[in-house]
Amino acid sequence: MAFPPEFLRELEGRSSIEDIAGSYVRLRRAGRSLVGLCPFHSEKTPSFHVYPENNSYYCFGCNKGGGVVNFVMEAERLDFLDAVKWLAQRAGMQVPEAGVDDSMSKLRMRILEINRESGRFFYSTLISPEGRAGLEYLLGRGLDPATIKHFGLGYAPESGYGLVNHLRKKGYRQEELTQSDMARVSQRGNLYDRYRGRVMFPIFDLRGNVVAFGGRILTDEKPKYINTSDTPVYHKSSGLFAMNLAKNSGSRQLILAEGYMDVIALHRAGFTNAIASLGTSLTEEQALIMKRYADEAVICYDSDAAGRRATARAIPILKGAGLRVRVVTVPGGKDPDEFMKNYGKDGPERFRQLLEKGGTDVEYRLQSLREQFDLDTDEGRVRYLNEAAGTVLLSIRDPMEQDVYAGRLAEETGVHKERILETVGRLSGRERRREERKLRESQMKVQLPGFGGRPLYKEGQIKEEVAQRGLIAYLFRHQEAAKALEKSCPPEKFITPEYRRVYNAILGRMIQDTVTMTDIGEILTGEEAALFSGILASTQEAPPGERDARAYILALDEAARKEGTEEWSRTASPDEVREYLQDLRKKKA
C-alpha cells in the first residue's frame, strides 16, 4: 500500500502522538518522554511511554509500540489504510486514493452495507405477519412503535433462509455474508441465517453504522441471547449498545446498564445517556471509549449476585480509564426496566432521585464489605478494617479522599483514624515495592512481541545483540548514513532474523527517501513496529553515535567469523544492554 511520502509526512506533522495518545490515557511529563498507564493492558504502575521527539510510543509492560498510525491501529482496531484515513479525517486532509490496495476497505464497506440491509429486513419482518411473535413480545415489554423504530428493532424469521435469500438477491456473495457473520455454512456446504426466531437489536458504531446485532430468543431455548462475533467492522470488546445516541445526550455522565431492554427503558424515561456493554464483562477498551464522552460513569447493574460481581469488576476498569464512578442499586432486586414499569409515570422522577443519592464507588465497596462481617464483635471489626484498608482505602490515590474514608471507618469501628492510615501506609509501601519489582522484572524479561518465551543467551552473544539494536537506532537517527551502511553493513550481517527484517525494511526505504514513524507503520508489521519502537525507547537517553556504529559493525563482523549466521536464542534485556554499553564506553575512554 503506497501512499505518497509527502502525504505521510504532512499527516504525521498534523498528528502529534502526544495529542492522539493523550485522548486515550492521562500522560505526565517524565524527562524527555511522557508516561501513563497503558491503554492496551491493565496495570497499576505506569509503563507506557510516549516520545514526542520522534512521534512514537512504547509500553515496557506489554511491549506494544510504534508510531502514531500504529497507535490508532491498536486503539481503534483498524488496518493501516483505515488508520491513515482516521488520522486524515481528524487532521482535515484528503487521502490520495490512486494506486492504493483497498481490498480490506472495500470488504468493510460491503459488510456495513450487508448489516444495514439486514437491519431493514429484520424491521420489515417484525411489522409483517411473519414477525407477529416478535412484535407481540416487544409490545408486551411496554415498547411502543416509535421506540421500536427509534432503536431499529426487528425480528429474524424462523425459516433459517429468509435473510440469506434476501441478501443474495441484492448481489452479496457467500464470502461476504459469512465474513459479516450474518450467515453460516452448514456441514453440507449450504448457507443459512445466523439468527432465527429472535427479536433483533442492531448495534451501531459512533458514526451511526450498523456493525453488529444481538438476538433474543422468544422461547426457553438456550442461549437466551446470541451476538455477532468479531468481524472486520466490529469487535465486541469495544462495542457499546446505544453509545451512538448517548454521546449526543449533552451530558458528561454515562449510565452503564446491563442489557438492551434496560437501556431502552432508560432512554424512554429521558435518560438518553444510558448504554450497555453488550452482554460481556466491561473491557478497558469500552471504558476508554466512554472516557472520550464522559467524566463520570454511573453503574446501574442488576442487584443480584451476578450483577454485584459485574459491578466489582467494572469499578477498577472505569477508574483506570480516568472516570469518576458512582453506583446506583435499584431497590427490591429490580433492574431499570422493571423499576420503570413498577412506578409508571413516577418512574423517571424516582430514578432521578436514585441517581442523586447513588454513592461513590468507595461507599459501594465499603458497604459490600460491611455486609460480610459482624461489626458487633471485635473479630468482625478487625477483619472488616483489614479488608477495607487493604482493598478499598489502598486503591484511593487522593490523600484527602483517603483521609475522609479513614475517618468514616474510624467512626464505624471505634478505631483511631491514625491507626487505620498507618495500616494503609504500610500496605501501600509493600504494594509499591511489589509493583516496582514486577516492573523491573518485566523490563528485564521483556521479549519482543511475538518472539517471547525463549531461553537465555549463549555466552558472549550480548555484544552482537547490542550491535544489532544499536545499528537500527543509529540508522533511524542518522538516515544520511544509509547508503554507507548498506555497503559496510548489509542486512546479511545481522544474526537475529527479527532484527534483520527491520533493518532491511528501513534501510531499503531510506535509500530512496527519508523515513518517518508514520512510514514505519506502512513498511513494518505490527510486531516489527513494536520491536523497532522498543529499540528507540531503550536508546532514548544515550543514542548511539558514529563511533558506536563502527564498533557495532566490527562486533557483527567478529560474530560472523565465529558463528556464521546462527540464530540467537533470545533478545537482551535492557539492563544487559545498558551494562554492555557502559563497559564499551569505559574501554573507549
Per-residue pLDDT tens for 159-179?
999 999 999 999 999 999 999
Which band of pLDDT confidence, cut at 50, 70 and 90, is reported for residue 579?
low
* Three-state DSSP class for residue 192: strand
End-to-end CA distance of the chain: 47
Query: Could you say which DSSP state residue 231 is in?
Result: B
| Nearest partner of 434 among 48, 59, 45, judged by Cα | 45
Mean pLDDT for 14-24 is 89
137 vs 551: which has the higher pLDDT: 137
Q: Are residues 531 and 498 in contact, defined by beta-carbon separation less than 8 angstroms?
A: yes
φ, ψ of residue 205 in degrees (nearest 5): -85, 180
Mean pLDDT for 138-147 is 94
Q: CA–CA distance from 186 to each of 33, 167, 230, 326, 392 (Å)?
A: 54, 18, 20, 47, 51
Q: Return d(Cα 155, Cα 164) in angstroms, integer.
A: 14
CATH 3.90.980.10 describes domain 106-234: yes
Q: Return d(Cα 227, Cα 224) in angstroms, integer.
A: 10
Q: Is it the case that residue 479 has pLDDT exceeding 50?
A: yes
Query: For the chain, what is the mean pLDDT?
Result: 84
Which band of pLDDT confidence, cut at 50, 70 and 90, is reported for residue 279?
low
Domain 5-91, CATH: 3.90.580.10
Q: Are residues 363 and 299 in contact, defined by beta-carbon separation less than 8 angstroms?
A: no
Cell 469500552 belongs to: 286
| Tens-digit pLDDT profile for residues 515-561 | 888 878 778 888 888 899 989 888 877 788 888 888 888 888 888 77
Q: Return d(Cα 424, Cα 418) in angstroms, integer.
A: 10
Q: Is it the case that residue 192 has pLDDT exceeding 90?
A: yes
Q: Are residues 122 and 207 in contact, defined by beta-carbon separation less than 8 angstroms?
A: no
3-state SS string over 480-503? HHHHHHHHHCCHHHCCCHHHHHHH
558 vs 50: which has the higher pLDDT: 50
- Specify the pLDDT at position 303: 77
| Angle, vertex CA 74, rays to CA 70 and CA 77, nearest 5 | 120
Q: Which of 89-98, 210-219, 461-470, 482-491 has the highest mean pLDDT?
A: 210-219
Show me where the domains of the chain are located: 5-91, 106-234, 364-444, 462-588
| Nearest partner of 231 among 297, 169, 166, 183, judged by Cα | 183
Cell 422522577 belongs to: 349
Cell 532484527 belongs to: 499
Which band of pLDDT confidence, cut at 50, 70 and 90, is reported for residue 442?
very low
Q: Return d(Cα 243, Cα 491) in angstroms, integer.
A: 49
**CA atoms within a 13 Å half-sphere pointing along the CA-CB vector of 271:** 28
